[in-house]
Amino acid sequence: MGEKTVAIIGAGIGGLSAGCYAQLSGLKAHIFEAHNLPGGLCTSWKRSGYTFDGSVHHLAGCNPDGPVYRMWEELGAMPRECVFPDRLTQVESPDGHVFSVHIDIDRLENHMLDAFPEDHAEIRKYTRAVRAFRNYDLLETSVRARAGLLRYLPAVPLFLRWGIPTMATVGARFRNPFLRKAFPFIQYDWPELPAMLHVNMLAQCSRQNYGFPIGGSLPFAQAIERRFRELGGQISYGARVTRILTQGSRAVGVRLEDRTEVPADGVISNAFAPITLFELVGDAALDNRTRTQFAVQEDEMMMGLQVSLGVARELSDEPQALVLLQEKPVHLADQVLDRVPVELYGFDPTLAPVEKSMIKVALNTSYAYWEQLAADRSRYLEAKERLADAVIGILEPRFPGIRSQVEVVDVATPLTTERYTGNARNYAHESGKVDMLSMMLSNPRSLPRVKNLQIVGQSAGGGGLNGCAAMGRNAIRALCKALGVRSTY
């Protein structure tokens, strides 16, 4: 029998991972990427000496003792220099109240007990949970063998206790008015996030398992691309796939925009999931459950709007992230907000010229809002300018004089992301909530009516970069099994 081949659509982290594990498993992989760079959503871009990052907030698997690190090693992304800021975030109010979420748990506990003594009982419950989660990284479940999952059994009561309430629910338990208001926003300004994900994040930051790769997102993706090439994989840029070819009930290759047809024994798609389903495969091949789940798309884009600033100001002593509570609601594009999340990249000197820094404000937004504006380009550009000006105005009281220090402004809307990566409106999960089990297991999606096809990536349910990488590995495992190829990965 000849060498088995796999066609991979998209060089995002899921596609790159699938390519590497395909080569490691004895398959011959060819990645087709419409853009001219790897990474997909895991990307960054340069503007006048500044690097603006669009992806990594925290990278799981920075601790060499963990299984996620070993996966990154296999993919060529580790070892690499990582940095571990001393605060997860810091919430500040106009009247001077400050809540610093230190990643040193003892320091965090002492800070909270000193600042909010009336909440000592709830504070100790919270910090006790963080300490307990140091032993159980949720994001390791996607890369452990099934037998290894047994180690999580003693923590099931802990998971149930913190997996059901949201950040807003936990925040409401505090008596102190400022802490009560601030707590729901300390994890990516997402009050509806299951509290367990935040507690896990803080616990893993405290043991330097979650950090930030120096240089940002694009170099991280490029390291995996190099590994794929070193393993003998082939990658074609500027190669847009327009159809997944099928024969009977099997995927047998892909058709490119220039109508070239590339045969393969299996196909893995890391393209935006609705595009894979409704355009590359086609409605006729979908089962009712998949069709129903992906047909309804959400208009709200989580962190879909990014204002990046290059500033002539040294910010290395500042927290990694701030949440600035506002005295009065502020209008930012289509949002009216009582707080503004700010990310400060002073911890990575490679992202800006000497004694300068990068600042990012990532906001939720409506896709339709920007889509309607884009019908008139001048209105679209004016809206971006107004937004950037408003953001700078909000930063000015916290960083006096910063308006005159802004050297570069970059505003990326959902249309910007769609143009460069193909990712558009999100689909609505049928439960309307975070699918915790799918995120933890990182299983690729498959279609009952199309064999030898696996769908991976953030839009297919991957939880962060490590989740997408694990999906790619798991997709190759499933494909090897279907093709009768023995894989040790």
* Each residue's pLDDT tens digit, 73-84: 999 999 999 999
The answer on pLDDT for 188 being more than 60 is yes
User: What band does 142 get if pLDDT is binned at 50, 70 and 90?
Assistant: confident
Q: Let me know if residue 64 belongs to a domain.
A: no
**Residue-level pLDDT at 461:** 85
Mark whether 123 and 173 lie in a shared domain: yes
Contact, 376 vs 383, CB < 8 A?
A: no
pLDDT for res 121: 98
Residue that terminates a domain, selected from 387, 402, 421: 421
How far apart CA 189 and CA 339 sit, in angstroms, is: 9
Last residue of a domain, one of 207, 236, 269: 207
With respect to residue 76, please indicate whether it lies within any of the assigned structural domains: no
Nearest 5°: phi and psi at 215?
A: 100, -20
Q: Are both 239 and 134 inside the same structural domain? A: no
The number of folded domains in the chain is 3
Global pTM reads: 0.94
CA distance 135 to 126: 15
Give buried/exposed letters for 137-157 (b at 16+ CB in 10 A, else e): bbbbbbbbeeeeeeebeeeee
Per-residue pLDDT tens digits for 9-33? 999 999 999 999 999 999 999 999 9
Mark which of 375, 399, 421 sits at the end of a domain.
421
200-209 confidence digits (pLDDT tens): 999 999 999 9
Is the predicted pLDDT of residue 429 greater than 80, yes or no?
no
Query: Where in the sequence is the domain holding 202, given as residue range(s)?
Result: 102-207
In a domain, 393, yes or no: yes
305 and 411 together in one domain? yes
Q: pLDDT-derived band of residue 438, with 50, 70 and 90 as boundaries?
A: low
List the CATH number of the domain containing 13: 3.50.50.60
Q: How does 279-315 read in b/e, with b if 16+ C-beta sit within 10 Å? A: ebbeeebbeeebeebbeeeeebbebbbbbbbbbebeb
Is 225:12 a contact under the CB 8 Å cutoff?
no
Quick one: 142 and 198 in the same domain? yes
160 neighbors 485 (Cβ within 8 angstroms): no
Region 40-65: mean pLDDT is 95
Is residue 304 located within the same domain as residue 409?
yes
60: in domain: no
Asked whether residue 455 falls in the same domain as residue 347, the answer is: no
3 state SS of 409: strand
What the block records as the tokens of 290 is 């998949």
Instruction: Give me the DSSP letters along 418-453.
Output: HHHH---SPBPPTTSS--HHHHHHTPPEEETTEEEE
Report the pLDDT value the prediction gives residue 224, as an integer from 0 to 100.
Answer: 98
- Cβ–Cβ < 8 Å for 265, 1: no
- pLDDT band of residue 435 (cuts 50, 70, 90) is low
Q: What is the pLDDT of residue 292?
A: 82
pLDDT at 53: 95
Question: Given this model, what pLDDT does residue 432 score?
Answer: 41
3-state secondary structure 133-150: HCCCCHHHCCCCCHHHHH
119 and 199 in a single domain? The answer is yes
Residue 304 pLDDT class (50, 70, 90 cuts):
very high
Amino acid at 294: F
**Residue 434 above 60 pLDDT?**
no
